[in-house]
Amino acid sequence: MDNIGAKVYVGMSGGVDSSLTAALLKERGYHVTGVYMKNWTQDLPGMKCPWAEDLADAKRVAVQLGIDFKVFDFETEYREKVVQYMIDEYSAGRTPNPDIMCNQEVKFKLFLEAALEDGADMIATGHYAGTKNGELLRAKDDNKDQTYFLYRVRGEALEKTLLPLGEFTKPEVRTMAEARNLFTASKKDSQGICFVGRIGIRDFLKQFIPEQKPGKIINQQTGEAVGYHDGAIFYTLGQRHGLNIGGGLPFYVCGKNMDKNEVYVTTNLNNGELWTREVELSAVHWINQPADTTKSYQIRVRHRAPLIESRIEFDGDNLTLKLSDEQRAVTPGQSVVIYDGQVCLGGGIVI
């Protein structure tokens, strides 16, 4: 897409990826404005939210590059659309992905709308993905590819989006940032929950949900209680760590019953509850056109999972995937994303 000279608002998070994105687009002749999205500012016990530091870093890079800089405040909408969604899903016993909802509701909806209203022609982000004519394309760096998190973006939004990092690997991005002496060149990537920083999901949820009742952890193979949990919502299919069950072979979560407040575990990695060749998806989203049931596609059951072949069948508003190979721990609430070669078509949420 040749829009040199266009006004581009770059979402700048204070990290190296979005910093280099702004630098590259300026060098390519775009009129660049940096925008920090203020989505979350609340400190949590033992965890200071890094938003002020990230904002300062983004500002420093904008000054370095000599570009305008703005702050868009989406905190209210973010709490309603992303945080509450995450809390509701966990409370129902599912395992959601807040990064996907953030991209759908905030970065490629609220941010895009606010930027266009403010005079921008396009937006840009530091995601590792590509876009061409409204299609979402896998990144050059397969390890960093973020199309899994972007599958719920609309094609109309991608037509007004630039994603320059899709053609580079992460080491190349670091090298290019260092060559430009960007302030954030050596800043570590953020970890933990997308909007809070280095805090575990359990610690986060405990601040926003009623205190959970302890319950039994039951060995599905014997029917015996082998331990106790502090809330079934904190456990997810396939989980091994954090069960506090001592001795012998490792246990894996193979199911849970929210009504009985029970978590089921097994030492058998071949347990039928852990593996599936058929996955049903709800809340199906297509970036542009729906997939063709006469073709075979590639699907990814989680970020960085290998691509595997699958056929698809429509069942009303839902979708059934017939996988070529069994997949482990395909978890309700998580997303499965569908690809046609390099093109990300869309996906849905596991029922």
Residue 239: which CATH number?
Answer: 2.30.30.280
Q: What pLDDT was estimated at residue 196?
A: 59
- The CATH number assigned to the domain holding 175 equals 3.40.50.620
Q: Is residue 307 part of a domain?
A: yes
Residue ranges with strand state E in 121-164? 122-124, 130-132, 135-137, 161-162
Which of the residues are catalytic? Answer: 102, 194
Q: What's the Rg (C-alpha) of the chain?
A: 22
| Domain final residue, candidates 180, 201, 222 | 201
Q: What pLDDT was estimated at residue 255?
A: 96
Task: Assign 257 to helix, strand or coil.
Answer: strand
Q: What pLDDT was estimated at residue 1?
A: 44
The answer to whether 99 touches 85, Cβ cutoff 8 Å, is no
Q: What pLDDT was estimated at residue 5?
A: 84
- The CATH number assigned to the domain holding 287 equals 2.40.30.10
Q: Is residue 228 part of a domain?
A: yes
Neighbours of 294 (CB within 10 A): 7
Q: What pLDDT was estimated at residue 48?
A: 84
Asked whether residue 237 falls in the same domain as residue 280, the answer is no
The answer to whether 267 touches 249, Cβ cutoff 8 Å, is yes
Q: Is residue 2 part of a domain?
A: no
- What is the distance between the alpha carbons of residues 351 and 348, in angstroms, rounded to a whole number? 9
Q: Is residue 315 part of a domain?
A: yes
- Condensed to tens digits (0 to 9), the pLDDT of residues 172-197 reads 999 999 999 999 999 988 765 665 55
Residues of the chain with pLDDT under 50: 1
Q: What pLDDT was estimated at residue 194?
A: 60
Asked whether residue 229 falls in the same domain as residue 323, the answer is no
Of 209, 219, 211, 109, nearest in space to 154 by CA: 109
Task: Specify the number of domains making up the chain.
Answer: 3
- Condensed to tens digits (0 to 9), the pLDDT of residues 323-335 reads 999 999 999 999 9
Q: Is residue 218 part of a domain?
A: yes
| Domain final residue, candidates 181, 201, 221 | 201
| Domain final residue, candidates 201, 225, 243 | 201
Of 49, 349, 65, nearest in space to 190 by CA: 49
Q: Is residue 335 part of a domain?
A: yes
The residue type found at 246 is G
- Beta bridge partners of residue 299, listed in sequence order: 308, 338
Q: Is residue 1 part of a domain?
A: no
Q: Is residue 225 part of a domain?
A: yes
Please give the residue range of the domain that contains residue 252. Answer: 210-266
| Cα–Cα distances in angstroms (integers) from residue 154 to residues 42, 114, 256, in the given order | 30, 16, 34
